[in-house]
Amino acid sequence: MNIKEIKRTPVGYLDTPLEFMPNLTQRLGRGKLYIKRDDLTGIALGGNKTRKLDYLVQYAKDNGYTALMTFGGVQTNHGRLTVAAAIKHGLKPILVLKGEKPEVCTGNLILDRLMGADIYFVDSSAADALPPEKRDAASAAFLEECTQKILAKYEAMGDKVLNIPVGGQGVIGSAGYIQAIPEIMGQMEKQGIMAKYLVAGFGSTGTFAGLWAGAKYYKAPFQVIGVPVDPTPRSLETTAAFINELSDFYELGFQCSPEDLRLEMGEGDHAYGGIGYNLPDPVTQSYIEMLAQEEAIFTDPCYTGKVLHGFADMIEKGIIPYGENAILLHTGGVPGLWSQEHLDSMQKTFWADEAADRVTVYRF
Ligand SMILES: Cc1ncc(COP(=O)(O)O)c(C=O)c1O
C-alpha cells in the first residue's frame, strides 16, 4: 500500500503549531530553537498517539471492530488517547494496565475514568518472588491469560475488539509520523525556518521510526535524533528492522541499517533517560521548570521532559553544532505532571521549604 494513498480518520486537530522559542533560544545562546506542538493535537489533552490513532481508528472502522483495547503502564498517555479516540468514534474503550491499582486515582487515570473507560489492572508483582530467569516469562504468560479472559468477556457481549499493542506500536499507527514529516516541511517552508535537527522521544519507537522513515522518504532537510525515555531503550537493530517493515509496507523504497539511526543517550548526570521509566528525577525536573519559566510550555517527567533535557544538553554541549537551528518535538504527556509519584516529588521544590520565599500567606 502506498503511503500517499492510505486513508485516515481524524482523531484530533492537525496541523499542530510549529513555534519559535525566543526565550529558550536566548537563554541557551546558540542557534534558533523551535518546538513542534504535538501536545496540542486537541483531543483529551493531546499528545503524539493521536497521530497514530488516526490510522488505527480508520483500520478499526474498515474492519468492523466495535471496541479498542490497549495496554500500558498505569499512567499511560497512549491509553488515555485510545480511550478518547474510541469515544469520539463510537467504539468501546478498554484499558489493560500493567501494575497495581493505585490507592488514589490521579493523572491520566482520573481522565480515563472521566471518559468512562473500563480499566483492568494486571498485577504480576507476586512474580518477583520467582527466580529472575523465570519472572518475565511468568508475567508475560499471566498478562496473556488475563488478555484472553478480557477478550472473551467482550466477545460474549457481541463486540469485536481491536487489540492495539503498547504505545500503538506497529505499522498501521506509524503512518501518522511518516505523514507528520510533510506537515513539518510545509510549515518550515511557509515560516522560512531552516533547521538541521528534529529531536524526538524514543519509547516504543513508533514515533521515532515513523519520523525517520518519513524524513528519508520525503527528503527532509533535517536529521531525526532520538532521545530515550528510559535508561534501557529498545535496540537500534530492532528499530531499523521495524523501519524496514514500514518501508516495505508503505512502498517507501529504501533500506535502513542500525548505523543510519541516531540515538543520543547523554551520560552521567546528563543521562537523558533518567533513572528509570517514570521515576521522578531532579535533573529532568529542572529542565521541565526551565521550559515552563522561559516559554510557559509544560512538559511531563516521564517523556517530553526527558527529551527536552536531551535537546537542551545537546545544544549546550555542541553535540548539536553551535549555531545550528533545531526543532524539539513535544509529544504531550502533561497529565503525568499530576500523577501521584510526580506530585509527591514536586512538593519540596514548589510548595514546601524551597518555595518559602515565593509562596506567601496573609492571615486575617
Ligand atoms: C507523551 C509521550 N511521549 C513520547 C512517547 C514515546 O513515543 P513512542 O512510544 O512512539 O516511542 C510516549 C509513549 O507512550 C508518550 O506517551
Cα-to-chain-centroid distance, residue 348: 27
336 has a pLDDT exceeding 80:
yes
Check residue 117 and give left, alpha or beta (phi > 0: left; psi -120 to 50: alpha): beta
For residue 210 and ligand 1, the question of a CB distance below 6 A is answered with: no
Mean pLDDT of 82-99: 97
pLDDT of residue 353: 77
CB 300 within 8 A of CB 39: no
For residue 201 and ligand 1, the question of a CB distance below 6 A is answered with: yes
Domain boundary among 108, 133, 168: 168
Neighbour tally for 136: CB within 10 Å = 12
- Kind and range of the H or E run holding 342: helix 340-350
Which atom of ligand 1 has the smallest separation from the CA of 39? Answer: 1
| Nearest C-alpha neighbor of 18 from the set 190, 170, 250, 141 | 190
Distance (angstroms) between ligand 1 centre and the Cα of 55 equals 16
Distance (angstroms) between ligand 1 centre and the Cα of 169 equals 10
pLDDT of residue 79: 98
Based on the domain organization, do 332 and 192 belong to the same domain? yes
Based on the domain organization, do 179 and 287 belong to the same domain? yes
132 has a pLDDT exceeding 90:
no
Based on the domain organization, do 122 and 268 belong to the same domain? no
- CA quadruple 180, 184, 189, 195: dihedral positive or negative? negative
> Which residue bears the cell 494496565?
97
- Kind and range of the H or E run holding 282: helix 282-295
Measured at the CA of 233, the angle between CA 231 and CA 239, to 5 degrees, comes to 165
355 has a pLDDT exceeding 90:
no
- Listing DSSP states for 105-157 in one string gives --HHHHHHHHTT-EEEEE--GGGGGS-HHHHHHHHHHHHHHHHHHHHHHHHHT
The alpha carbon torsion through 280, 282, 285, 290 (nearest 10 deg) reads: 180
| Nearest C-alpha neighbor of 107 from the set 300, 298, 354 | 300
Confidence of residue 67 (pLDDT cuts 50, 70, 90): very high
Query: CB neighbours of 84 closer than 8 A, spacing ≥ 6?
Result: 11, 43, 44, 115
Upstream peptide bond of 269 is cis (omega within 30 degrees of 0): no
What's the pTM value of the predicted model, to 2 decimals? 0.96
C-alpha cell at 40: 496540542
Distance between CA 33 and CA 27 in Å, rounded? 11
pLDDT of residue 348: 85
- CA quadruple 278, 284, 286, 289: dihedral positive or negative? negative
Distance between CA 44 and CA 117 in Å, rounded? 13
190 has a pLDDT exceeding 80:
yes
356 has a pLDDT exceeding 90:
no
- For residue 363, tell me if it sits in a domain: no
Mean pLDDT of 215-221: 98
Confidence of residue 352 (pLDDT cuts 50, 70, 90): confident
**pLDDT tens per residue, range 158-173:** 999 999 999 989 999 9
Based on the domain organization, do 279 and 144 belong to the same domain? no
308 has a pLDDT exceeding 90:
yes
For residue 124 and ligand 1, the question of a CB distance below 6 A is answered with: no
Based on the domain organization, do 178 and 244 belong to the same domain? yes
Counted domains in the chain: 2
Domain boundary among 133, 168, 203: 168
| Nearest C-alpha neighbor of 287 from the set 265, 267, 269, 310 | 310
pLDDT of residue 99: 95
Mean pLDDT of 262-273: 96
What does the mean pLDDT of the chain come to?
96
Based on the domain organization, do 289 and 145 belong to the same domain? no
Q: Residue 62: give its domain's CATH number.
A: 3.40.50.1100
For residue 203 and ligand 1, the question of a CB distance below 6 A is answered with: yes
pLDDT of residue 354: 77
- For residue 31, tell me if it sits in a domain: yes
Cα-to-chain-centroid distance, residue 96: 18
Based on the domain organization, do 35 and 98 belong to the same domain? no
For residue 48 and ligand 1, the question of a CB distance below 6 A is answered with: yes
Ligand 1: residue of 40, 70, 77, 227 to mutate (most ligand atoms within 8 A of CB) is 77
Distance (angstroms) between ligand 1 centre and the Cα of 333 equals 8
Domain that residue 104 falls in:
49-168
Mean pLDDT of 62-91: 97
- CA quadruple 187, 191, 195, 201: dihedral positive or negative? negative
- For residue 297, tell me if it sits in a domain: yes
Mean pLDDT of 217-243: 97
pLDDT of residue 216: 98
Confidence of residue 111 (pLDDT cuts 50, 70, 90): very high
Domain boundary among 168, 191, 209: 168
Mean pLDDT of 229-244: 97
- For residue 359, tell me if it sits in a domain: no
Based on the domain organization, do 154 and 267 belong to the same domain? no
Based on the domain organization, do 253 and 105 belong to the same domain? no
**pLDDT tens per residue, range 9-44:** 999 999 999 999 999 999 999 999 999 999 999 999
- The partner residues of 68 in beta bridges, in order of sequence, read 93, 162
